[in-house]
Structure 1
Amino acid sequence: MATNHKKHSAAKPAKKRGRAKRILGYTGLALAFIICAGGGVGLYEYHQLQPKNYITPKTRPVLATGTKEQSKQGNGTFNMLLLGSDARATGSSTDLSNAASHSDSMILVHIDLNKHQFNMVSIPRDTRVYLAGYGYTKLTSVQYMDQVNHGEKQGIIDTVKAISQLTDVPINYYAETNYSGLQNMVNTVGGITMNLPFPIMINHAWYPQDNGKSFTAGPHFVDGRMAFELTHTRDGLPGTDFGRQRLQEAVLVGIAKKIMSPSEVTKLPALSKSLRRYLVATNMPPQLMISIGIGMKGFFNTSQDIHYEQLFGKSEMVYNDVLKAYDEEIILPKSEIQMLGKKNF
């Protein structure tokens, strides 16, 4: 598993400007949602929702099994996929649904509440995968194609299955957010501090007034709008998409630190009730969110409990069966994927 953050020699610059503006740029926000959910339950319910009691093979669904046995997942542990999509709000400002969207960012997470540990692995959106009924295409296209042809939920489920088959990791839950969810969440907690891994200049801002703004490497306090601008930036970053994944990590850690700070702890019960306003879709029941919050309360330390890595691959010009044309896709080595399972899952 590649654990450094070097620019891949084969990675190419960003695509067209219009497409870059449509891209969300952040997935890991959903992880922050579930961390903050453990408040406001009674004594009996508190006991029943302890992770070792609630998160078991009987209550934990299996959306996709990879090639591993479900029995290897002990009590208090599970795997989930965090999705960031280009879904747009329709109807009211809190309605984040959309008929079809592309999976722009994908993070596979193993959560072990016995060890208070989150192992996170970013998967490139342009990874080459097999889509049943179509052939080989980019991972980002799976959700869109199946939502167009089979409905919103099926598109998400098939994305989960594609990643499970790619990584040989069983996946239990998913949580999808979009650019509106990111901005609203950051604003709800009053802004966050992002520790930027490298200097950034915003060249193709979503909001025109942000064009040309620059940031040095290091900590910066940002509101929801600027958190979105930074995490959807792609052009000019070291490693393009791989660089953007590091910005996703930075905003995730920033949100987690803010919501678990002493000044915010008293707000967690109220915040947990509004979590679904920030999600496009999820199969996580409210009880699971509370169980996770109970498991992490009093223990959460972002520098020790969140372990983040990136999957690197080789960019190659190959035939895309969906587009009926050649395009650049990321080929992930089998050896690297196997190490992912052994080390993180």
Structure 2
Amino acid sequence: MDKQRKQGIKRKSHWKRAMAYTGLGLAALVIALGSVGLYEYHRLQPQNHFKNLPAVGLTSSNSSSSSTTTSKQSSQSESQPAGSFNVILFGSDARPSGGNISLSDAESHTDSIMLVHVNLKTHQYNVLSIPRDTRVYMPGFGNTKLTSVQLLAQSQQGPQKGTVYAVQLISKLVGVPINYYAETNYWGLQAMVNSLGGITMDLPFPVTLTHAWYPQDEGLHFTAGPHFLNGKLVTEVVHERYSVPGTDYGRQQLQVAALKGIAKSVMSARNATKLPSLSKSLSQYLMNTNMSTQDVISLAIGIKGNFSAQQIHYYQVNGTSEVLYNDALKANDDEVVLDMNQLHQIIQDHFTN
């Protein structure tokens, strides 16, 4: 065999070995990436992800302490099983300056408050509306409306800490730890619904817009039943209270109808491919939240394929409307005094397991 031929064979041998090593390296890389993916998927399973969660509000060990005076998070109550947690949903009346569509105007009154108990093991979702005019005691200010707590706290502590303060005070009011919070306003809700291509709201009663955000919508009438609405009209409907039964209590029911419509749309087949982008775009819809992208993805994994609107159970707590002195505002105003016995019974029956 001549020298040139031997060198050619040697080069081929080196090339084959190089390709073999490269193939093994690529295989190892694929396996490693696959392992990371499998690990991540396993870690994001709700029973793994939603356990030993921090609580923004009170726990069983500090329920008698002044937990509403600090933004420091505490440990989760041991009574909460894995895959079970509580979320506060805030609707803010913050409106952009100069008509700009933005989430930037942070200091605001709380327009709507919903406590949601999520159980991803049983696939049951319990929702309690808390009247925004509920009379509460705010350390340093005295008795005031719940709707004013966030504004007062934000004016002293800033947007994020002010929201956390409101969450902690609500946690003390209802008597359970709150693990997550999410706050949006008119523009955020409108953008969220539009990103889904609209939602179907099943209205529990007829609605006529009596104080619309847009003049052209004033007087629009919607019959009871399902309506497919864009973001603009959803925000108009959930803002209405004067034409609906029970005023604020009726508006609470409209807000839950929107929540059901959003949840059903998010979990629909037509929006399945949007879940990753939606979960990564929370800042477009939310003013304040402590939910991460991983939290949202894990929640979607837990709900996907198992969701129906019938799994959402809605509760309201009775209260009496009274004209009382508001220490924070230094004036009399209309406030709601909750039936605390009923509140505690609802919480015990539907928000603790």
Q: Which of 313, 333, 342 is 1:327 aligned to?
A: 333
Aligned mates of 1:93, 1:279 — CA distance in 2 = 16
The reply to whether residue 179 of structure 1 matches residue 172 of structure 2 is no
| 1:212 shift after superposition | 1.4
Q: Which amino acid aligns with 2:190?
A: Q
Aligned mates of 1:296, 1:43 — CA distance in 2 = 19
**Aligned partners of 2:106 and 2:287 also within 8 Å:** no
**Aligned partners of 1:90 and 1:96 also within 8 Å:** no
Aligned mates of 2:55, 2:315 — CA distance in 1 = 24
Q: Which amino acid aligns with 1:44?
A: Y
**Aligned partners of 1:192 and 1:222 also within 8 Å:** yes
Aligned mates of 2:260, 2:150 — CA distance in 1 = 27
1:143-158 matches, within 5 Å, as 143-158=150-165
1:238 paired residue number: 245
1:51 paired residue number: 46
Structure 2: 5+ residue stretches without partners: 1-35, 64-75
| 1:97 shift after superposition | 2.5
Q: Which amino acid aligns with 1:64?
A: G
1:186-335 matches, within 5 Å, as 186-303=193-310, 305-335=311-341
* TM-score of the pair, normalised by structure 1: 0.83
**Larger Rg, first or second structure (1 or 2):** 2
**Aligned partners of 1:107 and 1:122 also within 8 Å:** yes
| 1:131 shift after superposition | 0.4
| 1:99 shift after superposition | 4.0
**Aligned partners of 1:116 and 1:296 also within 8 Å:** yes
**Aligned partners of 2:128 and 2:316 also within 8 Å:** yes
| 1:90 shift after superposition | 6.1
**Aligned partners of 2:149 and 2:166 also within 8 Å:** yes
Aligned mates of 1:66, 1:94 — CA distance in 2 = 38
| 1:106 shift after superposition | 0.3
**Aligned partners of 1:66 and 1:167 also within 8 Å:** no
Aligned mates of 1:232, 1:91 — CA distance in 2 = 21
Structure 1: 5+ residue stretches without partners: 1-40
| 1:271 shift after superposition | 2.4
Q: How many residues align?
A: 302
**Aligned partners of 1:51 and 1:291 also within 8 Å:** yes
- Work out the percentage of aligned pairs sharing the same amino acid: 54
1:43-192 matches, within 5 Å, as 43-57=38-52, 60-65=53-58, 67=60, 70-89=77-96, 95-192=102-199
Q: Which amino acid aligns with 2:201?
A: M
**Aligned partners of 2:276 and 2:297 also within 8 Å:** no
| 1:236 shift after superposition | 2.1
**Aligned partners of 1:109 and 1:118 also within 8 Å:** yes
2:345 paired residue number: 339
| 1:231 shift after superposition | 0.7
**Aligned partners of 2:317 and 2:339 also within 8 Å:** no
**Aligned partners of 1:318 and 1:327 also within 8 Å:** yes
Cα 1:94/1:270, change in 2 over 3 Å: farther
| 1:78 shift after superposition | 1.0
**Aligned partners of 2:204 and 2:254 also within 8 Å:** yes
| 1:234 shift after superposition | 1.6
| 1:319 shift after superposition | 1.3
Q: Which amino acid aligns with 1:116?
A: H
SS in 1 for 2:78: helix
| 1:147 shift after superposition | 0.7
Please report the RMSD computed on the Cα atoms of aligned residues, expressed in angstroms.
1.8
Cα 1:278/1:334, change in 2 over 3 Å: same
Cα 1:187/1:99, change in 2 over 3 Å: closer
SS in 1 for 2:342: helix
